[in-house]
Structure 1
Amino acid sequence: MEIGIDKIGFYAPHMYLDMNKLAVERNVEPEKFTIGIGQEKMAIAPITQDSVTLAANAALNILDEEDKEKIDFVLFGTETGIDHSKSGAVYVHRLLGINPNARAVEVKQACYGATAAIQMAKGHIALNPESKVLVLGSDIARYGLKTGGEATQGAGAVAMVISAEPRVMRFEGPSAFYSDDIMDFWRPVYSDKAMVDGKFSNEQYISFFTKVWKQYKEKAGLSLEDFEAICFHLPYTKMGKKALRAVIEEASQSVQERLMDNYQVSTEYNRNVGNIYTGSLYLSLLSLLEEKEDLADGSLIGLFSYGSGAVGEFFAGRLQPNYRDHLFTEKHDELFGTRKEISVEEYENMFEETLPSDGSSIELDIDADPAPICLSGIKEHSRQYVNKQRDVSTLSGGDSR
């Protein structure tokens, strides 16, 4: 049975910050951001967007009524969840009107969460071939103003429908994975900002990639020559390039050039959105699929997932016949084309605007947010979500009125 990605889409907030302008404001040479780490724009989430709404908006763009009926498992990968108990998947399940006879679960292991969800989805589909699984990777990356990690922030979500007989990509061959208990990046439960040992994290990312790549070659009997491209988890777009360089000399000159050229294409979306944690690898994949017009059916694509703390995995997928007919490129082009640039001052004010942490109620202005699904406030400790397309009035967390 072939199992893989039947649909894939993403959503990013409607505002962005130009990294050149942030660099000037921070008294940094702009090239440090645009070339050194490879970032052009940073998506900025208004207070009316959180990991739940970003995920729901990403899925809303790709699901039809048949999907909603056949989906019986919603898996939500995130490291910026909004509740210590209730999963983000449950909120998304209700906001989208998915079949009630479904499981809904949140998966956490830093940026690896969506990949773990995909592996769980594969097992579910193998046992239930008629089912579909909605996998979500949604996050808002926050390190703090004027911190070392500020330039690698971002916000967005990727949604994927995993099914049998997929139309975009089928997963192929074994996976190689590796775990180790390290402290390269983490976010304690009392903090809304991440903590990171940047140099150590970069070193571990490359180390994990070389370990799982070596293991994968032995398991699959494949080499770099067999891959048309390799997509990476991208906390910033230069990170994957550093890892690829660690193994690239295994290949001929022509293969090296092909992999590096295709790597550059795969970074286009990420360099204009920023770090979206669990969704970053799959945003990279989407960029490759939608931006490289001559990417042939049947191409084998490598995928490296890394979640700090740490878990790494390398696996692969093969593009299906006429896969391009099942992408949502026009919607994504429209999303990028309608975004609004904000100033550094506006960004700083928005960053400091946070939801109450003392149980207070609040009403938010969702009219200023063009997203179909928004956070409209907090009432009695419960986040209120609205799906504008269904003309639903403000709802309490799990209420289905």
Structure 2
Amino acid sequence: MTVIGIDKMSFFSPQQYIDMVELANARGEEPDKYLIGIGQTQQAVIPPTQDVVTMAANAADEMLTASDRKAITMILFATESGIDNSKSGAVYLQRLLGINPYARTIEMKQACYAGTFALMQARDYVTLHPTEKVLVVASDIARYGLHTSGEVTQGGGAVAMLVSADPAIAEINQDNQYLSRDVMDFWRPIYADTARVDGKFSANIYQDFFKAVWTRYKQKSGRSIKDFKALAFHLPFTKMGLKALRDVLPEASEEQQAALMAEFEASRVYSKRIGNLYTGSLYLSLYSLLANSTTLKLGDRVGMFSYGSGAEGEFYSLTLRPHFRGGLVSGQLEELFASRQQVTIPEYEAIFNNQLSGAADRELDTQHDDAKFVLSGLENEQRQYICH
């Protein structure tokens, strides 16, 4: 039987960030409220020259070969920070990345969950067409507003995944369990550029959904926590995933509890320093786990919990392949963190308020953005993308 799964993974986030201690001091909060209570140490700052399209392109470009670009017959773009109510972000990617023109290009939305649905559609498509490949990107900018309770859980970036037969990283197993309910824990009206959220309510719904789909998964699959080497979580902030993990740790032996906690710490190394990616948060967690764990090996089963407010949750598993670290772009996050520039809180606030918006023509200063793909402005109500 042909194995279908994630062959390559890549990540991009801009080269500016703020320190959570500085943000806490500026907001009159105790730093430990952010460092421990939320579980964040740094937060990516998104300049006006980057949007979800450029971040997705910068992420995907680093991992795709010329043969990949020819073999891709579908691009699935998951985001809740879309730039157009009609045109798919995937169409822009197809052109920017030089991907086969005979490919489907679709954008998907369901809060933070859409990346998982896109990944499952890719798996099912390649199962039927094993000689073809699907590019899945999850790209978002988390915006709650300055001086809001959600400000500490902002951030942004993009995760790109290539789904194929005989993958290098992991097989996507056919064991998904999911749950949907109409819940008003988080939403963004069409007229707003920042999210509306009931933070405590949303955190409770997240845990409720995890416990529900985890229980159903065990019932349907016959598996238990003993079958998992690690559990990866959607991490809008890393303390949220820790709370969910603690809900199921009593099901494991003391030895496995310690092992699962160690793997969780590996999975949140990057999220602590990037912040919230919305659709990409679970997959940055997976990326971090694969890159930072010292004990994962071929055949290990990793549990994946995806959650999107509004609300939808899903639990499924991956089985690691022989060369799972080889499917990651080498040194990618280490280079990002080494080259990032810290900005002051006033500088961050100015950047936050300077995003491209409205219908008027505008030219952006791109000389300080070293990324390959950048947003250079708006002309005739059309976003202008350039390649450095």
TM-score category, normalised to shorter length: over 0.9
Q: CA deviation at 1:331?
A: 2.2
Q: 1:374 — aligned with what?
A: 374
Structure 1 residue 328: Cα displacement: 1.5
Q: What is aligned with 1:97?
A: 98
Does the Cα contact within 8 Å between 1:235 and 1:280 map onto a contact in 2? yes
Normalised by the size of structure 1, how large is the TM-score? 0.95
Alignment partner, residue 399 of structure 1: none
**CA–CA distance in structure 1, aligned partners of residues 287 and 136 of structure 2:** 15
One-letter amino acid of the counterpart of residue 175, structure 1? N
1:315 is displaced (CA, Å) by: 0.4
1:51-97 alpha-carbon deviations (Å, 9 max, x no partner):
11111100011111011000010000000000000011111111000
In 2: Cα distance, 1:366 partner to 1:118 partner: 33
Query: Aligned letter for 1:373?
Result: F
**1:309-340 deviation per Cα after TM superposition (whole angstroms, max 9, x unaligned):** 00100000011012222321312211121110
Contact 1:75–1:133 (CA under 8 A) maintained in structure 2: yes
For 1:313 and 1:255, how far apart are their aligned partners in 2? Answer: 23
2:70 corresponds in structure 1 to 69
Whole-Å Cα distance in 1 between the matches of residues 152 and 352 of structure 2? Answer: 13
Partner of 1:310: 311
Q: What amino acid is the match of 2:82?
A: G
Query: 1:173·1:220 contact (CA, 8 Å) conserved in 2?
Result: no
Query: Is it true that 1:155 corresponds to 2:160 in the alignment?
Result: no
Aligned to 2:276: 275
Distance 2:234 2:323 in 1: 26
Question: What corresponds to 2:125 in structure 1?
Answer: 124
SS of match in other structure, 1:375: strand
**Mean CA deviation greater in 375-384 or 257-266:** 257-266
Is the contact between residue 290 and residue 329 of structure 1 (CA under 8 Å) also seen in structure 2? no
SS in structure 1 at match of 2:331: helix
1:2-401 matched pairs, under 5 angstroms? 2-357=3-358, 359-388=359-388
Q: Output the CA distance in 1 between the equivalents of 2:172 and 2:104.
A: 23
Letter in 1 for 2:88: S
Matched letter for residue 205 of structure 2: Q
Contact 2:4 2:126 in 1 (8 A): yes
Answer whether contact 1:54 1:157 (CA < 8 A) is retained.
Answer: yes
Equivalent residue letter for 2:387: N
Preserved contact between residue 38 and residue 271 of structure 1 (Cα < 8 Å): yes
Could you report, residue by residue, the CA deviation over 1:279-324 in whole angstroms, capped at 9, with x for unpaired residues?
Answer: 0000000000001133212111000000000010000001101222
CA distance in 2, matches of 1:254, 1:189: 49
Kindly report the root-mean-square deviation, in angstroms, between the aligned alpha carbons of the 2 structures: 0.8
AA aligned opposite 1:382: Q
Alpha-carbon distance in structure 1 between the residues aligned to 2:357 and 2:24: 31
CA distance in 1, matches of 2:123, 2:327: 20
- Distance in 2, matches of 1:212 and 1:294, equals 27
Local SS of the residue matching 1:83: coil
Alpha-carbon separation, structure 1, partners of 2:271 and 2:29: 21
Q: Name whichever of 97-106 and 122-131 sits farther off.
A: 122-131
Partner of 2:135: helix, strand, or coil? strand
Gaps of 5+ in 1: 389-401
Opposite residue 370 of structure 2, the aligned amino acid is P
Equivalent position amino acid for 1:384 in 2:
Q
- Counting aligned pairs with the same residue, the percent is 51
SS at the partner of 1:110? coil
Give how far 1:122 is off. Answer: 1.3
How many pairs are equivalent? 387
Task: Report the secondary structure of 1:105's partner residue.
Answer: strand
State how far apart, in whole Å, the 1-side matches of 2:86 and 2:282 are: 26
Q: Distance in 2 between matches of 1:270 and 1:73?
A: 28
Following the alignment from structure 1 to structure 2, what is the Cα–Cα distance between the partners of residues 260 and 220? 23
Aligned counterparts of 2:89 and 2:326: Cα–Cα separation in 1: 30
Local SS of the residue matching 1:134? strand
Residue 229 of structure 1 contacts residue 259 of structure 1 at CA under 8 Å; is this kept in 2? yes
After superposition, give the CA deviation of every residue in 1:22-60 in whole Å (9 maximum; x if it has no partner): 001111000000111100100001000001111110001
The residue type paired with residue 162 of structure 2 is V
